[in-house]
Amino acid sequence: MMIRKISAYKIYLLYSGITALLFSLVTTVMIVYHIENVHMNPLQLILVGTVLEAVCFTFEIPTGIVADVYSRKLSIIIGLILIGIGFTIEGSIPVFSAVIISQVVWGIGATFTSGSVDAWIAEENKNVDINQIYLRAAQAGQIGSVIGIILATILGNFSVRIPILLSGVLFVVFALFLALFMPEYSFRPSAPEDINTYEKIVYTMKRSVGFIKSKPTISLLLLVTLFYGLSSEGYDRLSIAHFLSDTTLPKLWNLQPVTWFGIFGIVGMVLSAISMQFIIKRLGANSKIRSAVILLITNTFYIMSMAVFALTHDFSIMLIAYLSTNMFRSVNEPILNAWINRHIDDNARATILSTNGLINSLGQIIGGPFIGVLAANISVSFGIACTAILLTPVIVLYALSIKSDRIRS
């Protein structure tokens, strides 16, 4: 019996919403699980993220060959199954070594899906406005994330392992669903010269160097990205540990820590969405200089909020600083993307953006363990404070970019 395929558009929306939901099930409780069940110290918390980033960096090229040569659909299905297996391992065995193994497994899975999904929908919907599809998918992802946070918060009150295990199982189930109902009619294997390889990475880096020499502002951009990479793992992995170790959560209605962090997550998403709309409306088609000024102001408050968060032990101040830090960080991303694109010529866009991504990954791999050692040997608070210090050079870099743009304008 022939199984009728669902339209690519509907599958893409389902994929965006369901994967966002399933990832939120895990991320909402993951750090609490690592601290309370696996009993990780600050260095181990960060090493988990470093291993994941290193795996994704290493396997991005070889796993991409599957999507380019054999099938986008096959690559996506393999990826989702591996992600599901990784989360199942993580939730089943509360031991540090098992968590590391799980990061390797689901990290490889993530590289199978990375790029494959967007390439698949672009090929299957060539005659449709792809930007509208991406917009709808982003909205589906936001809805899925909120539902995932709520579900993880409820289930986590019974056991923080339940959302992780449930997510693992559902990733595999969803992969089987896609194997049956996901269409793939437009795939054509890439020619050998079009397949991404490590040699192409070297070529990309060499080409970037030539372009950077002709555009000094681009070198500032790449340095900004490096400092973002160096600092991101420290804050991402230690912020919840800071709440658990350096302050006392309110005893309101005997709510569990996982419930509080679920509430923080939802409030943070709402604040970020409101502030992002506010900024985007005012950004419009503004000049490079205006974008850089907004980035300078946003990052100043971002760093100040993180520093306050790191140094205080008062719950109310810590919460306000935490929400502010996350809000300024989320607002920063679309403005930064606009600023980057205004400085890159079309013929060098892919090259520079690829190099930018590589530098960010390397920054995370290098900076994470450094902050982890400081946090483990001194304190979590000190580790986050050092993360804020690592970010301060971006203020100088944005100021220099404003000066450079004014000279050129």
Q: What is the mean pLDDT of residues 93-100?
A: 96
Phi, psi dihedrals of residue 238, rounded to the nearest 5°: -110, -15
Q: What domains can be seen in the chain, in order of their start residue?
A: 1-184 (1.20.1250.20), 197-409 (1.20.1250.20)
Report residue 240's pLDDT band, with 50, 70 and 90 as the boundaries. very high
Which amino acid, 259? T
Q: Check residue 134 and give its pLDDT.
A: 78
Digit-coded pLDDT (tens) for 263-301? 998 898 888 878 877 776 666 555 555 677 888 889 999
Question: How many angstroms separate the CA atoms of 230 and 360, rounded?
Answer: 8
Percent of the chain with pLDDT over 70: 85
Q: In what helix (H) or strand (E) does residue 147 lie, and over which residues does it extend?
A: helix 130-156
Q: What is the mean pLDDT of residues 32-60?
A: 92
**Is the confidence at residue 350, as pLDDT, over 70?**
no
Is there a contact between 376 and 43 (Cβ–Cβ < 8 Å)?
yes
Q: What is the mean pLDDT of residues 223-249?
A: 91
**Is the confidence at residue 223, as pLDDT, over 70?**
yes
Q: Check residue 6 and give its pLDDT.
A: 84
Is there a contact between 262 and 156 (Cβ–Cβ < 8 Å)?
yes
Report residue 98's pLDDT band, with 50, 70 and 90 as the boundaries. very high
Q: Which residues contact 97 (CB under 8 A, 6 or more apart)?
A: none
Q: Check residue 197 and give its pLDDT.
A: 55
Q: Residue 197 is encoded by which pair of tokens?
A: 């390889």
Report residue 221's pLDDT band, with 50, 70 and 90 as the boundaries. confident
- Helix, strand, coil percentages, rounded to 5, for the chain: 85, 0, 15
Question: How many angstroms separate the CA atoms of 285 and 338, rounded?
Answer: 9
**Is the confidence at residue 408, as pLDDT, over 70?**
no
Burial zone of 250 (CB within 10 Å; 0-12 exposed, 13-18 middle, 19+ buried): exposed
Question: How many angstroms separate the CA atoms of 130 and 108, rounded?
Answer: 27
Average pLDDT, the chain: 85
Q: Check residue 70 and give its pLDDT.
A: 81
DSSP state at residue 347: G
Neighbours of 350 (CB within 10 A): 12
Q: Residue 376 is encoded by which pair of tokens?
A: 């483990």
Is 0.85 surpassed by the pTM of this model? no
Q: Check residue 250 and give its pLDDT.
A: 86
Burial zone of 131 (CB within 10 Å; 0-12 exposed, 13-18 middle, 19+ buried): exposed
Report residue 211's pLDDT band, with 50, 70 and 90 as the boundaries. low
Question: How many angstroms separate the CA atoms of 164 and 82, rounded?
Answer: 14
